[in-house]
């Protein structure tokens, strides 16, 4: 091989070797996930796992009532992925063209339950809420908190709403309702099964029949205004992964995807 050609060969080999050994760090990504308050424990564990497996991604979580989160998104809040506790709020965002096309999925299901403090032996069903000894029944705010809407549906279906409404105290989200029962500030409350299961201070007195309320479905979608669409879609896909589903099911959710 001529000397000139040898130098060319060595130069090209060096370029290819350098390119093959390149280890360019992945682009740093910041994601904001807004999710219904009832998902706080499960989503906290899932986002930690995701960040461990994707070191270039930092996730900020924002939990609250689905209605409040919907309004924040409508008002321009920096949100990449939204997980609601009802279809109503996701439908409202879809109507305003705020969901990324073809990303909406029905992710999870849940149950509606009546809870009381651990030592309560008098309340064993929804009908017992009409007794004079029951002074305060905690529920989510009807207009903005899905668990409050489901509770109203159930009490209406059972023909109990008119009797119980004067005793109702309304919380800003399901965790507030749970806390009021845990602390004895309410005699009973209507929450999700997953919230009741996560508390050592309350017990389930009754489970609402599924035909007394709309199906409890948690839809999820990427928000149209996200500046990290690919990363947002990747995280949304992860919520249906075997690893994430195991965590959701551990907390009592039913995977629907």
pLDDT, tens digit, for every residue of 144-194?
999 999 999 999 999 999 999 999 999 999 999 999 999 999 999 999 999
Domains and CATH numbers, the chain: 29-109+217-255 (3.40.190.10), 112-212 (3.40.190.10)
C-beta separation of 152 from 179 below 8 A: no
> What pTM was computed for the model?
0.88
C-beta separation of 122 from 131 below 8 A: yes
pLDDT at 76 exceeding the cut of 70: yes
Q: Are strands 168-171 and 112-117 parallel, antiparallel or unpaired?
A: unpaired
Q: Is 67 exposed, middle or buried, given 0-12, 13-18 or 19+ CB atoms closer than 10 A?
A: buried
pLDDT, tens digit, for every residue of 51-62?
999 999 999 999
* Continuous segment of H or E residues that includes residue 11: helix 3-20
Q: Are strands 188-192 and 168-171 parallel, antiparallel or unpaired?
A: unpaired
Strand partners, 138: 169, 189
Q: How far apart are CA 143 and CA 64, in angstroms?
A: 14
Q: Is 106 exposed, middle or buried, given 0-12, 13-18 or 19+ CB atoms closer than 10 A?
A: middle
């Amino acid at each position: 091989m001529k000397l000139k050609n040898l130098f060319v060969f060595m130069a090209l080999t060096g370029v290819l070797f350098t390119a093959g050994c390149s280890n360019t760090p992945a682009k740093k990504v910041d994601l904001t996930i807004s999710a219904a308050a009832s998902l706080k424990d499960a989503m906290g564990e899932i986002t930690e796992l995701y960040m461990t497996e994707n070191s270039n991604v930092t996730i900020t979580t924002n939990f609250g009532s689905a209605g409040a989160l919907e309004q924040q998104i409508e008002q321009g809040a920096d949100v990449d992925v939204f997980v609601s506790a009802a279809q109503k709020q996701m439908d409202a965002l879809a109507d305003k063209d705020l969901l990324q096309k073809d990303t909406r999925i029905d992710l999870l299901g849940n149950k509606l339950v009546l809870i009381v403090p651990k030592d309560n032996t008098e309340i064993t069903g929804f009908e017992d809420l009409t007794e004079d000894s029951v002074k305060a029944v905690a529920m989510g705010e009807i207009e903005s908190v899905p668990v409050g809407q489901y509770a109203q549906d159930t009490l209406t279906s059972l023909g109990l709403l008119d009797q119980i409404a004067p005793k109702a105290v309304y919380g800003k989200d399901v965790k507030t309702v749970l806390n009021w029962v845990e602390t004895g500030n309410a005699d009973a409350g209507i929450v999700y099964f997953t919230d009741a299961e996560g508390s050592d201070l309350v017990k389930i007195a009754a489970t609402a029949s599924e035909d007394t309320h709309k199906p409890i479905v948690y839809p999820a979608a990427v928000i149209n205004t996200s500046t990290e669409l690919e990363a947002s879609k990747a995280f949304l896909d992860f919520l249906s992964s075997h690893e994430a589903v195991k965590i959701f099911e551990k907390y009592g959710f039913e995977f629907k995807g």
